[in-house]
Chain A
Amino acid sequence: MSRNGFSVVRWWSIVLKEFLQLRRDRVTFAMIILIPLLELALFGFAINTDPKHMPTAIIAADQSEFTRSYVAALRNSDYFTIVGELPDEEAGRAALAQGQVQFVVDIPVDFTRRLLRGERPALLVEADASDPTATGLALAAVQQFAQSVADKDLIGPLAALAGGQPAFDVQVHRLYNPEGITQYNVVPGLMGVILTMTMVMMTGLAITREHERGTMENLLATPVRPLEVISGKIIPYIAIGLVQATIILVASRYVFNVPFAGSVAAVYLSALLFIAANLTVGITLSSLAQNQLQGVQLTFFYFLPNILLSGFMFPFQGMPGWARAIGSALPLTYFNRLIRGILLKGNGWADLWPSVWPLILFTVVVMTVAVKCYRRTLD
Chain B
Amino acid sequence: MKDSANLSYMIDVRGLNKRFGDKHVVRDLSLQVQRGEILGFLGPNGSGKTTSIRMLCGLLTPDSGSGSCLGYDILKQSDQIKRNVGYMTQKFSYWDDLTIRENLDFVARLYEMPDRKRAVDEALEGLRLTSRAQQLTGTLSGGWKQRLALAACMLHKPRLLLLDEPTAGVDPAARRDFWEELHELAAQGITVLVSTHYMDEAERCHKLAYISYGALLAQGTAAEVIESQGLSTWAIHGDADRLVELSRQLRGQPGVDLTVAFGSALHVSGRDGAALERTLRAVTQGQALRLEAERTGLEHVFIFLMRGSADNFADTLGAGR
A140 at the interface (CB under 8 A from B): no
B95 touches A221 (CB 8 A): no
Structural contact, B111 and A222, CB atoms closer than 8 A: yes
Task: Compute how far the CA of A213 lies from the CA of B95 in the bound complex, rounded to whole angstroms.
Answer: 8
For B57, what are the chain A residues with a Cβ–Cβ distance below 8 Å? 221
Residues of A334-364 whose CB lies within 8 A of B: none
Contact indicator A379/B60 (Cβ below 8 Å) = yes
With A377-B60, A378-B59: A221-B82 Cβ-Cβ less than 8 Å = yes
Bound: A220/B57 CA distance, A: 10
A5 within 8 A of B: no
Separation in Å of the B23 CB from the closest CB of chain A? 14
Are the CB atoms of B96 and A221 closer together than 8 Å?
no
Residue among A216, A218, A219 facing the most chain B CB atoms (10 A cut-off): A218
What CA separation (Å) do A217 and B85 show in the bound complex? 14
Knowing A223-B110, A224-B110, say if A218 contacts B59 (CB, 8 Å): no
Q: Could you say which residues of chain A place their CB within 8 Å of the CB of B107?
A: 222
Residue of A nearest to B63 (CB): A379
Question: Are A213 and B96 in contact, CB atoms less than 8 angstroms apart?
Answer: yes
Cross-chain contact of A215 among B61, B79, B94 (Cβ < 8 A): B94
- For residue A36, CB closer than 8 A to chain B, the reply is no
Interface assignment of B92: CB less than 8 Å from any CB of chain A: yes
Q: Which residues from chain B contact A223 at a C-beta distance below 8 Å? A: 79, 82-83, 110-112
Contact-residue bracket for chain A: 10 to 19
Is B58 an interface residue when CB atoms closer than 8 A count as contact? yes
* Smallest Cβ-Cβ distance to B84: which chain A residue: A223
User: B83 contacts A217, CB within 8 Å?
Assistant: no
**Cβ–Cβ < 8 Å partners of A379 in chain B:** 60-61
Within residues 36 to 70 of chain B, which ones have a CB less than 8 A from any CB in chain A? 54, 57-61
Q: B287 on the interface (CB 8 Å rule)?
A: no
* Contact among B54, B61, B92, B110 with A214 in the assembled complex (CB-CB below 8 Å): B92
Name the residue in A213, A220, A223, A379 with the highest tally of chain B Cβ atoms < 10 Å from its Cβ: A223
Interface size on B, residues (CB 8 A): 22
Docked Cα-Cα span, A217 to B58, in Å, equals 11
Q: Please tell me if B195 contacts chain A, counting CB pairs below 8 Å.
A: no
A216 to chain B: closest residue by CB? B93
CA gap between A378 and B57 in the complex, in Å: 11
Closest CB of chain A to B80's CB: distance in Å?
Answer: 9
Check: B191 CB closer than 8 A to any chain A CB: no
Contacts A214-B89, A378-B54 hold; do A220 and B94 have CB atoms under 8 A apart? no
CB distance from B4 to the nearest CB of A (A): 20
Contact at B95–A215, with CB atoms within 8 Å?
Answer: yes
A223 to B72, CA, bound (A): 14
B91: Cβ under 8 A from any A Cβ: yes
Asked if B91 and A214 make an inter-chain contact with CB atoms under 8 angstroms apart, the answer reads yes
B68-109 residues at the A interface, CB under 8 angstroms: 79, 82-83, 85, 87, 89, 91-96, 107
CB-CB under 8 A from A377, the residues of chain B are 58-61
**Chain A residues with CB under 8 A of B58:** 221, 377
Which chain B residue lies CB-closest to A228? B110
B79 CB contacts on chain A under 8 angstroms: 223
A221 / chain B contacts, CB cutoff of 8 Å: 57-59, 82, 85, 87, 89
Query: Which residues of A have CB within 8 Å of B95?
Result: 213, 215
Assembly CA distance A136 to B79 (angstroms)? 63
**A218 CB contact (under 8 Å) in B61, B93, B96, B112:** B93
A366, B174: Cα distance in complex, Å? 48
Interface contact B89-A222, CB-CB below 8 Å: no
Distance from A76 Cβ to chain B, minimum over Cβ atoms (Å):
62
Residue with the greatest number of chain A CB neighbours at <10 A, chosen from B91, B93, B96: B93
Given A221-B87, A377-B61, A215 contacting B93 (CB threshold 8 A) = yes
Q: B-facing mask of A119-137, CB < 8 A → 1, else 0?
A: 0000000000000000000
Residues in B neighbouring A378, C-beta threshold 8 A: 54, 59-60
Q: Cβ of A213: which chain B residues have Cβ within 8 Å of it?
A: 93, 95-96
Q: Look across to chain A and name the residue whose beta carbon is closest to the beta carbon of B95.
A: A215
Shortest C-beta distance, A202 to chain B (Å), equals 15
> Contacts of B110 on A, CB cut-off 8 Å?
219, 222-224
Q: Which residue of B lies closest to A222 (CB)?
A: B110
A220-257 vs B, CB cutoff 8 Å, 1 = contact: the mask equals 11111000000000000000000000000000000000
- A218 nearest in chain B by CB position: B93
The interface residues of chain B lying within 8 Å CB-to-CB of A224 are 110
A222–B152 CA distance with the chains assembled, in angstroms:
11
A218 touching B54, Cβ below 8 Å? no
Which residue of B61, B96, B110 has the most chain A CB atoms within 10 A of its CB atom? B110
Measured CB to CB, the nearest residue on chain B to A224 is: B110
| Nearest CB of chain B from residue A195's CB, rounded to whole Å | 25
Considering the complex, which residues of chain B in the window 126-160 have a beta carbon less than 8 Å from any beta carbon of chain A? none
Which B residues are CB-close (under 8 A) to A217? 59, 89, 91, 93
Residue of A nearest to B98 (CB): A215
**CA of A215 to CA of B92, assembled, Å:** 8
Of A219, A222, A377, most buried by chain B (CB within 10 Å of CB) is A222
The CA-CA distance from A216 to B92 in the complex, in Å, is 11
Q: Whole-angstrom distance from the CB of A114 to the nearest CB of chain B?
A: 76
Contacts of B89 in A (CB 8 A): 214, 217-218, 221
**Considering only CB atoms, which chain B residue lies closest to A225 in the complex?**
B79
For B164, give the chain A residue with the smallest CB separation. A217
Smallest CB separation, B145 vs chain A (Å): 12
Which listed residue (A215, A216, A222) contacts B82, Cβ 8 A? A222
In the complex, what distance in Å separates the CA atom of A99 from the CA atom of B248?
A: 87
Min C-beta distance of B169 to chain A, whole Å? 15
Closest to B149 in A: A218
A362 to chain B, nearest CB (A): 31
Report the bound CA distance from A238 to B140 in whole Å: 33
Cβ of B27 to closest chain A Cβ, rounded Å: 18
Residues of A within 8 A of B111 (CB): 222-223
List B residues at the A interface (Cβ < 8 Å): 54, 57-61, 79, 82-83, 85, 87, 89, 91-96, 107, 110-112
**Ordered nearest first, which 6 A-B pairs have the shortest CB separation?**
A218-B93, A221-B87, A222-B110, A214-B93, A214-B91, A223-B82
Write 27 A-B pairs (CB below 8 A) sorted by A numbering. Answer: A213-B93, A213-B96, A214-B91, A214-B92, A215-B95, A217-B89, A217-B91, A217-B93, A218-B87, A218-B94, A219-B110, A221-B58, A221-B82, A221-B85, A221-B87, A221-B89, A222-B82, A222-B107, A223-B79, A223-B111, A223-B112, A224-B110, A377-B58, A377-B59, A377-B60, A378-B60, A379-B60
